[in-house]
Each structure stands twice: as C-alpha cells, then as structure tokens.
Structure 1
C-alpha cells in the first residue's frame, strides 16, 4: 500500500504543476510578472500552513524501535543512498532546464502561454503515469524498475533535439513526464529499503532536497543557454543521462539484502507472545 501511495502522491502533485504554470502565465500576461510572483508566494505560504497545521502533521511522532543502535539510526551516509541522491540531482536538473526551455520556446514563437502550457503538459504526463503505475502490481525488483524508468525518462527528452514546433514539443514533454512519477516513486521505495529503520522522514527530506538542488542547477545553467536553441533543448536530456549513468554504475549497491520485488517494505521485528 505504501508503494501505491507514494506513486499516487507523486502523481497527484502533477495536478498542482498543471494548474500552476497556466495560472502564472495567465496572471503574468494579464497583469504583470510581479503580480504572478506575489500570487505564487501567497499560495505557497497558505499551502505550507495547511500542511503544517493539519491534524496528521500535528499528531505524528517518530516511531521508536527496541534495541535500535542510536548511532546507526542517525547514519544516512550510506554509499548506495548517497549515489541514489546524486542521481536524483540529474532528474531535478532536467526539470529545471525544461522550465527555462519552455520560456525560450514561448519567446521564439511569440506565444506567451507556451511557457505555461509546456510544463503543464509535462505534469499531465506525470499525473497520468502515476495513476497507471500505482494501480498495477509489478513483478520486477525496485532497482530494475528504477533503472528502466530512468532510461525511459531519458529517451523521452531526445525528440527535443530535433527542435520541434510548439504543438509537437508540448506533446513530446508528456512522455518524460509520465516516467517521472515512476522514477521518484521507485526512489522513495529504494530509500526506504536502504536506510536504517526509523529514519524514513529524514531520508525523504534529503531525497526531495537532492531533486531541488538539481532543479536549481538546471534552471541556472539553462538561463545561460537560453539564446542557443539546440543547447537549451539538449539540457534536459543531459540531466537525465547523468541520472541514468549514476544509477547504472551503482545498480549493485542499490540492491539491499532481501529486497522484495513487489514494493514490499521492511518491518521492524516485534516480539511475539508465546502461545500457551
């Protein structure tokens, strides 16, 4: 159930990313970029407050495990985990570069709304991919799914190198978007299987941070190449290629002992009462 929930969580976030770029583009076109920025900040603050004040957030307490080594519980610097997080910076890089590329496309074709439509199409693919992936039971291992989905994520960016027109570009970005949810969901499950019990929330925070760092780097570098159409279109594929290369090199380390193939998770061993 956790595996399906993670896929659904990642996919439904796509709904926000479908509405957000369209809303920002519409507000910026109707009013000004400053107004769009203010609206974005207000909605972000409201959303953060809603999550922080929600009953599940306020009731949550970290679970304690008997006999757990305190030093091990705080130790997340595991080579396999670090390599996984490094690979995810490439995923974030591709997303950040795609956002800037969509703005360059909008300017080149003199269609302001294109800067919102292309990210929205990418997120629509993510939402649909999450629904499909979460509804099925998969027989392959998590590591295999992670590598295959990252390869498909990379392949999805390659058509951009042909410098397609607005309609073709909008349709093309939906393909890597569909595999983004699978990559992130498998990354969550892999992290859960690799880290010491009780450190899930901390590890997930680092996972999200890794994607965010890559996204920032992709945005910054894409801004430097915005005036070069081919280089700008190639950056998302470059980020995805980096992620795939790291995962391929680390695939043996990403397989924890006793990894179960169908998204099952470790459970802390609990003492059973002896039956009289």
Structure 2
C-alpha cells in the first residue's frame, strides 16, 4: 500500500506546488495540501523493519532506533537551509519539488527492498482488536502530542523572535541549533546500554526536556537563545527514541506499523496545535511570552509521563508476557 499512497500524496502535493506557482485562491491550496493525509510515514516503515530484523537484540535495536532519530534530526537541520537556498537561487517552489522527488524515490526504493520487509502476520488470539486499544498506547501518543507541541511552537516562535530582534536572517540557523542539540543527544543516547524496562526512561527524558527548556522564558538575545536551544534539544531525541521503542513493545508484531503510526500521529497533531497556539500568543503578547507554549507543553508531557508511569510499566510487562519482546531472545 505504501507505493500507491505515496504516489497519490505526491501528486496532490505537486498540485499544491502548481497552484502556488499560479497564484490560486487559498481554498485551492488547502484542498491540495490534504494530500498529506494519506502520505505514508517512511520513518515508521523503516523502524518496523529494524524491529523485525533485530528481534531479540535489545542493544542493537536501541542503537538502530537512535540512528534513525539522528538521521531525522539531520534532515530537520539541512532541510530548511537547503529549501531556502533553492528558493533564493531558482524559484520559491524549488524546495518543495526536491522534497517530493526525494520522498517519492525513497519510499519506492524502500518498498523494493523485499529482503528486509517484515512478513505479513496472521491474526492470533491476542490480536483481536485495533492497536489503539493496546494498554498504554494512547497515553504514549498523548505524551508525544505534547512533545510535538514543543516542535510546532518553536518553529514559529524562534523565527518571530529573530524578526523582533532585527535578525530575521538568523532565525533558521537559531532553530537549527535546536535540531543540532537533539542530534547530539540522539548520538549519545544511542551509545548507552539499553535497560530491560523502557517505560521508566520516558519519565526521565521528559523531565530533562522540561527543565532544560525552562531558560527560554528569560532569554532576551538571539545568540543566548541559540545556546539555550542547543542544550535543551539534547533531551528531544532521547524522548522520541524511547517513545518509539516503547510503542514497538506495547503491540504484537503483527500490529507494529499501526502502533507506531498512532504514536507518530500524536506527534504530528501536537506540531499542528503548537504552531497554532504559538502564532496566537505571538500576535497577542509577542515572541518572548509565546515561549510559555512550549515550556508548558514540556512540563505537561513530564506530568503525564509521571502520572502514567505505573500504567506504562504495567502495560510493557503485560505485552512482554503476552506476545514476547524485542528485548529477549526467543
């Protein structure tokens, strides 16, 4: 299903590029942008393959998930800079065209790698419902929704903060520091040994995320903001890596794609809500006060992880008892 859906979503977004180029009305742009709704998540498909290939190898699976997150952060760093460069050198839609080409080529190339593709799993007696019914999965998705709120809000606020300080050209670079910190955090986290229980690590990573982000509330200079974001970003990748590994454990192998997609959907919903909330705060109170949005989201993510700790730990143990674990060799 990945290839036809990817081609359909790419065609829809290609129509968005064309509509933008032709100066079409806003409602046409909105309709064209709905192509995102059916776009397969390549990161989820890849992580599902790692989980299949490294079943029973907890340490290697931890490293593989960390590696994937580092690649994601690298794209977050390079993408805006490359898009801006292409728009400046050629035309505004050049960045989107390159992104569509890379995405479509990547998904088709991934689909052709049949050797690493997980086999279709028949339904078993413990797989009678949907993945969202797995204990703890919606709680995990809600935690990532709050984490996504941080991303969405930061994207808007940092650019506005730079503009308010007459340094709009440096907004993208400052935001890149956030991704760079996350990249480094992912590299370091990937070298750490993987413990048997994953749920407990989510509590500590969300705590670090909220505490390290707190100084943005008192920053009044762009270079200082860049430094704060660099440090705060170091807790982002560990949170995402932990969440994705926990999602892999909470569902049976036959539902691993569905389970991770639900968690990823929570992240994407949070990004959308964060951008909207931050935009409203900026209009009403300015960029500096708008930082309350990501800070509050970070502390709510920690509070949710704290309140749901016993639920997630119990759910992880239950899942390991029911249908095995990627952490233990069969």
TM-score, length-normalised on structure 1? 0.85
1:173 partnered with 2:229? yes
Residue 182 of structure 1: aligned partner: 238
Residue 244 of structure 1: aligned partner: 302
Gaps of 5+ in 2: 1-59
Residue 272 of structure 1: aligned partner: none
In structure 2, how many angstroms separate the alpha carbons of the residues matched to 1:266 and 1:258? 14
| Alignment map for 1:21-40 (pairs within 5 Å) | 21-26=80-85, 30=88, 35-36=91-92, 38-40=93-95
In structure 1, how many angstroms separate the alpha carbons of the residues matched to 2:230 and 2:193? 23
CA change 1:210–1:112 in 2 (3 A) is same
CA change 1:138–1:197 in 2 (3 A) is closer
Aligned 8 A contact 1:222 1:232 in 2: yes
Residue 110 of structure 1: aligned partner: 166
Aligned 8 A contact 1:51 1:57 in 2: no
In structure 2, how many angstroms separate the alpha carbons of the residues matched to 1:79 and 1:259? 9
1:253 partnered with 2:308? no
| Aligned partner (choices 93, 97, 107) of residue 42 of structure 1 | 97
| Aligned partner (choices 79, 86, 91) of residue 20 of structure 1 | 79
TM-score, length-normalised on structure 2? 0.72
1:95 partnered with 2:151? yes
In structure 2, how many angstroms separate the alpha carbons of the residues matched to 1:111 and 1:148? 35
Residue 273 of structure 1: aligned partner: none
CA change 1:139–1:194 in 2 (3 A) is closer
Structure number with higher relative contact order (C-alpha < 8 Å, ≥ 6 residues apart): 1
Gaps of 5+ in 1: 270-276
Q: What is the Cα-based RMSD across aligned positions, in Å?
A: 2.5
Aligned 8 A contact 2:131 2:259 in 1: no
Aligned 8 A contact 1:154 1:244 in 2: yes
In structure 2, how many angstroms separate the alpha carbons of the residues matched to 1:57 and 1:87? 34
How many residue pairs were aligned? 262
Residue 205 of structure 1: aligned partner: 261
Cα offset, 1:92, TM superposition? 0.3
Q: Which structure has more helix as a fraction of its residues?
A: 2
Residue 10 of structure 2: aligned partner: none
